[in-house]
Amino acid sequence: MDMRDKIKEALGDKVKGWQEHSAKRIYITLDKEDIYKSAELLFRKLGLRFIIASATDMPEYFEILYHFSNDPAGEIYSLRVLLRDKAHPEVDAITPIFPGAEWIEREIWEMLGISFKGHPNLKKLLLADDWPEGEYPLRNKK
Amino acid sequence: MSHKIIVPIGPYHPLQEEPEFFQLYVEGEKVVDIDIIIGYNHRGIEKLSESKHYDQVAFLVERICGICSSSHPYAYCLAVEDLLGGEANIVPERALYIRTMINELERIHSHLLWFGLAGHFIGYNTVWMWAWKYREPVLDMFEMITGNRNSYAMFKIGGVRRDIKDEDIPILNKMLDELTPALDLFRGAVMDDPVIKARLKGIGILTKEQAIDWCVVGPTARASGINIDVRRDEPYGVFDRIDWKVILEEDGDIFAKTVVRILELYESVNIIRQCLDKIPKGAIDADIKDIPAGEGIGRVEAPRGECFHYIKSDGTNRPVRHKIRAPSYMNVASDKLTAVGGTISDATITLAAVDPCYCCTERVAVINKGDNNKLMNGWDLIKLSQEKTLKLKEQYYGRLK
């Protein structure tokens, strides 16, 4: 069974959208409530490697992509989560599953103002200590 | 009498690369905790990239790192080409060979740079001078191929900017020939020297489980037995048509990381040789005009590990989002595991083992948790590290004059 089927089986009805951009680039849309469980399944059960997460400020929502690499096949599975509450964007932290996500969640938090619930150490990573509260450099100005 | 001094370490000069700040907490000789503080050199390149058009971004990301100055533009071009339909389907054959060569030359000069500094940190200043001496011809090769010794401005979406001259190929081959004896020298110096073994074996261990949990990449991961290498796992350039192998070690200590890098140098020379041998004639640029809406991911095996770029386009001539993840972002975080529990005299080489840049270890404060609180700077630490090697040398070879 190849990784595609394993992931489909493991995530089951959590998958809300499955888009194959190419043979090696698969984007999977999830509800934001399912990200913790899904990341845990991919990382712990299926043994994928976490590359990084990328967040984008879109006009209607915030989008977070969690990129996982299936190294033996050279594939990247990107879990897509949309945060539609633009005033209070919040999602479960995946750092409790594996510490490799700590820095990027801190970075997204300070750069885009997305809060990560359950993050053990949510403090500034790159910005200066006296950076003004509520200013998020990677948010688009109206 | 106990006294506590707090000294600001710095200044954090933005011209230097990767100014991280490590704060070591020590009890006697033992490192009990470490704070890693980064962000002194955050230049907002991801945001800046949103204001440049696609051609300009390649030059912008080239300036992320002076050492990996081809890995970033390469990964960026791969990301845009992924959006357009894949590197292999767009980029002309000859350009793929040139890209591969540049990628490997960069690995050679970067590994030699690291090797020299590692030697310096443990008191082998001759190794330092030699490694850097033999790094010079590699930069000369860069100059012959790209016109620049650094920041090569070679990569563009759909190809490369400058062709390799046929008459240069024999000269490049000769320069590679001259490099090989130097590599033998370095390999011998590391593998056969009991002092280097005593200094690096069993120090700064990152176990396989830890390496997986902290998602480290590149030689740092391969030294801990994780079999990953983007060049093999998701081949770009012509890596799938070249005969080469991934170097893997199991121990996870600094010695293993050193061995991985040294053996990789041989593979890189081997790869460039085959490229020079097989390079076909033809165009070097696909002349890409428009970038449609969509998203793309590109990744390259930089000298320090996987370099990752993500591009989101809305069909205009500028990216909507450009996410960059350099390999050190994952590797440096693992210092929390490797340095804690060791001694201060091993801290310099342990922190340097993931191959961050020079200034990383220049900015170290040691706070002794005992009575006499004192602050040490990077030089004090290097001195401590070198003294330890000297003591070991005396043990092995008798008193040195």
Q: The complex's ipTM?
A: 0.95
Token code pair at residue A136: 């998020």
Contacts of A8 (CB under 8 A, 6+ apart): A15, A18
B46 CB within 8 Å of a chain A CB: yes
**How confident is residue B10, by pLDDT bands cut at 50, 70 and 90?**
very low
pLDDT at B362: 45
How far apart are the C-alpha atoms of B16 and B337, rounded to whole Å? Answer: 26
Mean pLDDT within B94-109? 96
Indicate the helix (H) or strand (E) that contains B365.
Answer: strand B364-368
Do residue A71 and residue B228 have CB atoms under 8 angstroms apart?
yes
Residues of A within 8 A of B295 (CB-CB) are: 21, 27
pLDDT at A112: 94
B294 CB within 8 Å of a chain A CB: yes
How far apart are the C-alpha atoms of A32 and A90, rounded to whole Å? Answer: 9
How far apart are the C-alpha atoms of A2 and A13, rounded to whole Å? Answer: 19
pLDDT at B226: 96
Q: How many Å lie between the alpha carbon of B330 and the closest alpha carbon of chain A?
A: 7
Cβ-count burial B201-216 (b if 16+ within 10 Å, e if not): eebbbbeeebbbbbbb
Mutate one of A21, A54, A103, A129 to test the B interface: name it (highest B CB count within 10 A).
A54
Assign 3-class secondary structure to B18-68.
Answer: CCCEEEEEEECCEEEEEEEECCCCCCCHHHHHCCCCHHHHHHHHHCCCCCC
How far apart are the C-alpha atoms of A84 and A124, rounded to whole Å? Answer: 24
**How confident is residue A52, by pLDDT bands cut at 50, 70 and 90?**
very high
| CATH architecture observed for domain A3-90 | 2-Layer Sandwich (3.30)
Nearest CA in chain B to A139: B47
pLDDT at B49: 93
Tell whether the torsion through CA atoms of B278, B283, B285 and B290 is positive or negative: negative
**How confident is residue B30, by pLDDT bands cut at 50, 70 and 90?**
confident
How far apart are the C-alpha atoms of A109 and B211, rounded to whole Å? Answer: 25
B76 CB within 8 Å of a chain A CB: no
* B323 φ, ψ (degrees, to nearest 5): -100, 130
Cα end-to-end distance, chain A, whole Å: 48
pLDDT at B373: 57
Residue spans of the domains in chain A: they are 3-90
pLDDT at B372: 56
| Beta strands B21-27 and B30-37, pairing class | antiparallel
Nearest CA in chain A to B310: A54
For residue B298, what are the β-bridge partners?
B309
Lowest mean pLDDT across A38-42, B171-175, B387-391 = B387-391
B277 has a pLDDT exceeding 70: yes
Indicate the helix (H) or strand (E) that contains A25.
Answer: strand A25-30
User: DSSP letters along B237-249, please?
Assistant: TTGGGS-------
Are B50 and B321 spatial neighbours (Cβ–Cβ below 8 Å)? yes
| Beta strands A25-30 and A75-83, pairing class | parallel
Task: Quick: pLDDT tens for A89-119.
Answer: 999 999 999 999 999 999 999 999 999 999 9
**How confident is residue B9, by pLDDT bands cut at 50, 70 and 90?**
very low
pLDDT at B301: 96
Indicate the helix (H) or strand (E) that contains B182.
Answer: helix B168-191
pTM reported for the whole predicted model: 0.91
Task: Quick: pLDDT tens for B330-339.
Answer: 988 888 888 8
B109 has a pLDDT exceeding 70: yes
Token code pair at residue B1: 């009498």
Comparing CB atoms, the residue among A52, A99, A127 nearest residue B214 is: A99
Are B309 and B299 spatial neighbours (Cβ–Cβ below 8 Å)? yes
The per-residue pLDDT of chain B, averaged, comes to 86
B381 has a pLDDT exceeding 80: no
Contacts of B173 (CB under 8 A, 6+ apart): B273, B276
**How confident is residue B179, by pLDDT bands cut at 50, 70 and 90?**
very high
For residue A78, what are the β-bridge partners?
A27, A67
Mean pLDDT within B300-310? 94
Do residue A54 and residue B86 have CB atoms under 8 angstroms apart?
no
Do residue B294 and residue A21 have CB atoms under 8 angstroms apart?
yes
CA distance to B87, B141, B142, B160, B347, per residue, from B164 (Å): 20, 11, 11, 10, 43
Lowest mean pLDDT across A58-62, B117-121, B361-365 = B361-365
How far apart are the C-alpha atoms of B76 and B291, rounded to whole Å? Answer: 13
How far apart are the C-alpha atoms of A3 and A15, rounded to whole Å? Answer: 15
pLDDT at B374: 60
**How confident is residue B368, by pLDDT bands cut at 50, 70 and 90?**
low
B178 has a pLDDT exceeding 90: yes
How far apart are the C-alpha atoms of A22 and A35, rounded to whole Å? Answer: 23
* B298 φ, ψ (degrees, to nearest 5): -125, 140
Lowest mean pLDDT across B17-26, B139-148, B171-180, B302-311 = B17-26
pLDDT at B37: 79
Lowest mean pLDDT across B126-130, B288-292, B384-388 = B384-388
B328 has a pLDDT exceeding 90: no
Mean pLDDT within B132-137? 93
B363 has a pLDDT exceeding 50: no
Residue spans of the domains in chain B: they are 21-41+330-397, 45-328
How far apart are the C-alpha atoms of B223 and B262, rounded to whole Å? Answer: 12
Mean pLDDT within B15-40? 72
Comparing CB atoms, the residue among B39, B42, B308 nearest residue A51 is: B308
Nearest CA in chain A to B36: A125
Which residue, chain included where needed, has tokens 């990107």?
Answer: A78
For residue B383, what are the β-bridge partners?
none
**How confident is residue B19, by pLDDT bands cut at 50, 70 and 90?**
low
Work out the number of other CB atoms within 10 angstroms of the CB of residue B80: 26
pLDDT at B11: 34
B377 has a pLDDT exceeding 70: no
B400 has a pLDDT exceeding 60: no
Q: What percent of chain B lies above the pLDDT cut of 70?
A: 89
* Among the four given CATH numbers 1.10.645.10, 3.30.360.10, 2.50.20.10, 1.10.10.10, the one describing domain B45-328: 1.10.645.10
